[in-house]
Amino acid sequence: MTDLHRLSIREMTEGLKTAQFSSRELTQHYLDRIAKIDDRVQSYVTVTAEQALAQADAADHLLKSGTAGILTGVPIAHKDIFCTQGIRTSAGSKMLDNFISPYDATVVAKTKAAGLVTLGKVNMDEFAMGSTSESSFYGATKNPWNLEHVPGGSSGGSSAVVAADLAPIATGTDTGGSIRQPASFCGLTGLKPTYGRVSRFGMIAFASSLDQGGPMARSAEDCAYLMNTIAGHDAKDSTSVEKEVDDYVANLNATSVKGLRIGIPKQYFNVQGLDADVKARVEESLKKLEDMGAALVEVDLNMTEAYVPTYYLIAPAEASSNLSRYDGVRYGYRCENPTDILDLYKRSRSEGFGAEVQRRILIGTYALSAGYYDAYYVKAQKVRRLIQQDFLKAFENVDVIAAPSAPTTAYKIGANLSPTEMYLGDIYTLAVNLAGLPAINAPVGFDANQLPVGLQLIGNYWSESQLLSIVHQYQQNTDWHTKRAAIAEENI
């Protein structure tokens, strides 16, 4: 079979269970595609072919003996921020170019236990700081829809692998939009769960009060399968929440779009820099949901202007603390011939971290320093609470809130946005992390240059089932999620 990569996750599981193809065949098919296509997309940092085939054989054994789980034998790619035992975990940084984790992240352990086959580790912005994946030590990943454009970031390798059919599903992480924005730029579905739903254990920390892992795939249905595997409490992550996990697949039709109240924040659609095509496609998708029976209700989110400054204070502050562990002593990059311990710290960190990471460490350290702490960090935390309250108030009147995922479609590679220009591109995604809410991106069409546009739906706490269900029903009535980039159409 030459077109195994066109199957949905459900179709893949059915094909495996009924022995239409084996996991080895499926895995080899993806490995062949990676070998043929990925030199153009550059999504993988590490391909684990040998281990993948061994996992596939083990999966085939379980499938034959009738003891397989639902996803046994299905391939997956992991963002290179999730620790993988025995396989390099770089976080896109020179600092961790030589880092081989002695343990698996909980998310990775769960996918392994479920019988998923790890194809490899995919590219990302260095330490997940960025919106283009260009800050990676390994160079820029290309957008499969147009190789001159970025796939988004920071989970740009994850969006590119799925959009180019170099993996059927991928994990991503979202601290300020890094699942939703790359999903939007590559025409995919991506879910950022409620803070605490997916374990952060073994996920290299950027900003711990904002970081959350989640699924990236073509459809809500595919995302639901992966969520069933990775969600849940983990004693190894003190911020993971002890709350029963929904069956996201079983709930795909549980929420009725008929009668659903969708909040439209008045502040969001007048944002300076909102691209006209993005606005038009998002409005068309909302019209479609209205035709399906939803009611569009205007809501007020008065704190919109505070999102970017608040996030870009809190995230760097937490990053500066988290990244202090990379000191050249215990693991990671170490400079050559240090003269003393200070020289070791200084040069290991100056040589090991890229420009954007250094900028964030400087901003964060400044914001946390004695004398400025109250004026900046404490104040930002207070504003953060107001942003959360803004949402909770809106949710008194609506079920979900709609927004674009990003004000534009994918940037050109090398566009060289200034830091502030780049930060402003995160306007629609940051508040969700500051408030700890779940949100999903769904593809809703293309701009004039054939680059994908995404709709974001933001839900109240623990509403992942509802978000997946709404997008699933939208996808039953539209076909944007089935569109493939030319490079994904290439057979090998």
Which positions are annotated as active-site residues? 79, 154, 178
User: Are residues 83 and 99 in contact, defined by beta-carbon separation less than 8 angstroms?
Assistant: no
Q: Does 157 bind ligand GLN (CB under 6 A)?
A: no
User: Are residues 164 and 151 in contact, defined by beta-carbon separation less than 8 angstroms?
Assistant: no
Taking the complex as a whole, the smallest distance from the CB of residue 173 to ligand GLN amounts, in Å, to 6
Alpha-carbon distance 363 to 435, whole Å? 22
- Measuring CA to CA, how many Å separate 195 from each of 203, 209, 241, 290? 14, 8, 8, 29
Q: Does 128 bind ligand GLN (CB under 6 A)?
A: yes
220-230 and 9-17 are packed helices; what angle lies between their axes, rounded to 10 degrees? 70
Nearer to ligand GLN, 249 or 363 (CB): 363
Q: Which one of 154, 159, 194, 405 is in contact with ligand GLN (CB under 6 A)?
A: 154
CA nearest to 71, candidates 121, 120, 11, 28: 11
Q: Does 105 bind ligand GLN (CB under 6 A)?
A: no
**How distant is the alpha carbon of residue 39 from its chain centre?**
22
How big is the CA angle at 354 (ends 97 and 373), to the nearest 5 degrees? 115
Q: Does 152 bind ligand GLN (CB under 6 A)?
A: no
Q: Does 229 bind ligand GLN (CB under 6 A)?
A: no
Window contacting ligand GLN (CB under 6 A); options: 23-31, 126-134, 193-201, 324-332: 126-134
Q: Which one of 115, 120, 130, 263 is in contact with ligand GLN (CB under 6 A)?
A: 130
* Contact positions with ligand GLN (CB under 6 A) in 17-46: none
Radius of gyration of the chain (CA): 21
* Contact positions with ligand GLN (CB under 6 A) in 187-216: 206
Taking the complex as a whole, the smallest distance from the CB of residue 268 to ligand GLN amounts, in Å, to 18
Alpha-carbon distance 93 to 133, whole Å? 11
Q: Does 77 bind ligand GLN (CB under 6 A)?
A: no
Taking the complex as a whole, the smallest distance from the CB of residue 128 to ligand GLN amounts, in Å, to 4
Alpha-carbon distance 131 to 2, whole Å? 34
Alpha-carbon distance 112 to 103, whole Å? 13
Nearer to ligand GLN, 101 or 133 (CB): 133
Buried b / exposed e along 289-328 (16+ C-beta atoms within 10 A):
beebebebeebebebbebbbebbbbbbbbbbbbbbeebbb
Window contacting ligand GLN (CB under 6 A); options: 23-31, 60-68, 123-131, 345-353: 123-131
Q: Which one of 74, 117, 150, 315 is in contact with ligand GLN (CB under 6 A)?
A: 315
Window contacting ligand GLN (CB under 6 A); options: 10-18, 35-43, 125-133, 239-247: 125-133
Nearer to ligand GLN, 206 or 377 (CB): 206
Positions touching ligand GLN (CB under 6 A) are 128-131, 154, 174-178, 206, 315, 426
